[in-house]
Chains A and B, each alone.
Chain A
Amino acid sequence: MDIDKRKRELVKEFSPALENYSLKTKIWIGCLVAIILVGFYAFLVQLINGHIVTGMRDNVVWGIYIINFIFFVGISYSGAFISGILHFFKTPWKNSVSRIVELITVLSLIIGPIFILLCIGRLDRLHYLFLYPRIQSPITWDIIAIMTDLVGCFIYLYLTFIPDFAILRDNKELKVAKWQKKAYRILALNYQDTTEQRERLHKITRTMSVMIIVLAIVAYTVLAWIFSLTLQPGWNSTIFAPYFIIAGLYSGVGVIIISMYAIRKYFHLERYIRKVHFIAAGIVLLVMSLLFGYFTFSEYFARWFSHKENDVHLLDTLFNRYFWEFIFANYIGVLVPIVILFFKKFRTIKSITFAAIIAVLGLWLNRFLIVVPTLETPYLPIQDTRAEFVNYSATWVEYSLSLTGIAAFCLLFTLLIKFVPIIPMSGIIDYERDQKKYNKRQPKKAVK
Chain B
Amino acid sequence: MKSNLMKHTFYASFIAILLFSNLGFAQQEEQKEEFDVRKYKTVYKFNSFKQSDNSRLLEVSFIVQNKKDRKDKIPVFEAEIYFYNVLNDEELLLGTAFTSKEGIAKLTLPSSQNYELDEDGFINLTARFIGSKGLKSAKKSLAVKDLHLELNLKEIDSVKTVIVKAYTLTLDSLQTKVPLEEADITIFVKGMLSNMPIKEGSIEDGVFEFEFPTNIPGDGDGDVTVIANIEDHDEFGNVAQEKFINWGSHKITPVKKVKNTLWSESAPLWMYIVLSILLLGVWANYIYTIFNLFKIKKEGKSINLATEE
> Residues on A close to B: CB < 8 A?
55, 134-136, 141, 144, 148, 151-152, 155, 159, 162, 189-192, 194, 196-197, 200-201, 203-204, 207-208, 211, 215, 218, 392-396, 399
Contact = CB atoms under 8 A, between A and B. Distances in A.
B178 to A, nearest CB: 56
A396 B4 CA distance: 7
Given A189-B297, A204-B288, A136 B279 contact: no
B27 interface: no
A135 B286 CA distance: 23
Interface string B89-100: 000000000000
A393 B264 contact: no
B275 A197 contact: no
A204 B289 contact: yes
Interface stretch (B145-153, B206-214, B265-273): B265-273
B86 to A, nearest CB: 52
Given A190-B303, A208-B285, A197 B264 contact: no
Nearest to B293: A189
Interface secondary structure of A, over-half rule = helix
Given A136-B268, A395-B4, 7 more contacts: A135-B266, A155-B286, A192-B300, A200-B296, A201-B296, A394-B3, A396-B5
8 contacts: A136-B260, A136-B271, A148-B282, A159-B293, A190-B298, A192-B304, A200-B292, A394-B3
B271 A135 contact: yes
B286 A151 contact: yes
A197 B296 contact: yes
B263 to A, nearest CB: 10
B282 A190 contact: no
A194 B304 CA distance: 12
B296 A190 contact: yes
A144 B1 contact: no
B130 interface: no
Contact of A135 (B2, B267, B297, B300): B267
B300 to A, nearest CB: 3
Contacts of A55: 1
A190 B300 CA distance: 5
A54 to B, nearest CB: 10
Nearest to A149: B282
Nearest to B263: A134
CB-based closest 9 A-B pairs: A190-B300, A136-B267, A135-B267, A189-B297, A204-B292, A204-B289, A394-B1, A395-B4, A192-B303
B287 to A, nearest CB: 10
B1 A218 contact: no
Nearest to B5: A396
B102 interface: no
B12 interface: no
